[in-house]
Homo-oligomer: A and B are copies of this chain.
């Protein structure tokens, strides 16, 4: 096992399960913290600001500042900024994505924007979807924060951003650029934000299809922890295995 100099770490299923604490997570982060090893939480959740995410982690006794949180909303804003710093954007989404785009100084616009951005929006309605479709048909670049098909909740699996995004994909017959895990766009940016080298950094998460695939696609080592979505049995079926897989973060030496 390498001595990794940087950690990119998933949230739900890895640091907590919904509103439920994962006991070993807090100790794991404290150990990183004590050794002074840089870490960054990387999340496909576009609805919360980094401040809100850090607060939630602190509530689970996990040391985290807003600067240690990298959301797909931040990655989306950065991606657009690199393409067109003064872009106009029509955005579907909640506080996290709107906050990230505003921090970059983008102008919001309902008609003929340069970009359409779709993030999870539990206030979605037909007019919002219509404006997005009209803009994409008028030539706006179509971007979606992530392709997650479902949101795990206490009621069961509710529609995720990937499924909401599909309304526009199907109606306009235009594929979006997805930013979040498993895409390497968010990973490259997270690495640059953390400031460690790819070869010395490891991606930690519970869901093979997003977390581990994101690490693999961006050429990083990966650690799958079976405290969330992907079971041992499911992992066996995967052609490309993570670098490491463990039952709990307490097994991991830092």
Contacts and interface: CB of A to CB of B under 8 A. Distances in A.
Contacts of A157: 133-134, 137, 171-172
Interface string A95-122: 0000000000000000000000000011
Contacts of A155: 130, 134
A121 B167 CA distance: 13
B166 A149 contact: no
Contacts of A162: 170-171
Contacts of A126: 121-124, 158-159
A64 to B, nearest CB: 29
Interface string A130-155: 10011001000000000001100001
Given A125-B124, A126-B121, A170-B149, A137 B156 contact: yes
A180 to B, nearest CB: 15
A121 to B, nearest CB: 7
A160 interface: yes
A124 B159 CA distance: 13
A40 interface: no
A131 to B, nearest CB: 9
Contacts of A250: none
B134 A156 contact: yes
A164 B169 CA distance: 11
Residue in A124, A134, A160, A171 with the greatest tally of chain B CB atoms within 10 Å: A171
Given A157-B171, A163-B167, A166-B166, 15 more contacts: A125-B125, A129-B164, A130-B158, A133-B150, A134-B158, A137-B157, A149-B171, A149-B173, A157-B172, A159-B167, A163-B168, A163-B171, A166-B167, A166-B169, A166-B170
When A and B form their complex, which 9 residue pairs have the shortest distance between CB atoms, in order from nearest? A163-B171, A163-B170, A166-B166, A122-B126, A159-B171, A130-B158, A166-B170, A163-B167, A129-B159
22 contacts: A121-B126, A123-B126, A125-B125, A129-B159, A130-B158, A133-B156, A133-B157, A133-B158, A133-B163, A134-B156, A150-B171, A157-B171, A157-B172, A158-B171, A159-B168, A159-B171, A162-B170, A163-B167, A166-B167, A166-B169, A166-B170, A167-B167
Interface of A: 121-126, 129-130, 133-134, 137, 149-150, 155-160, 162-164, 166-173
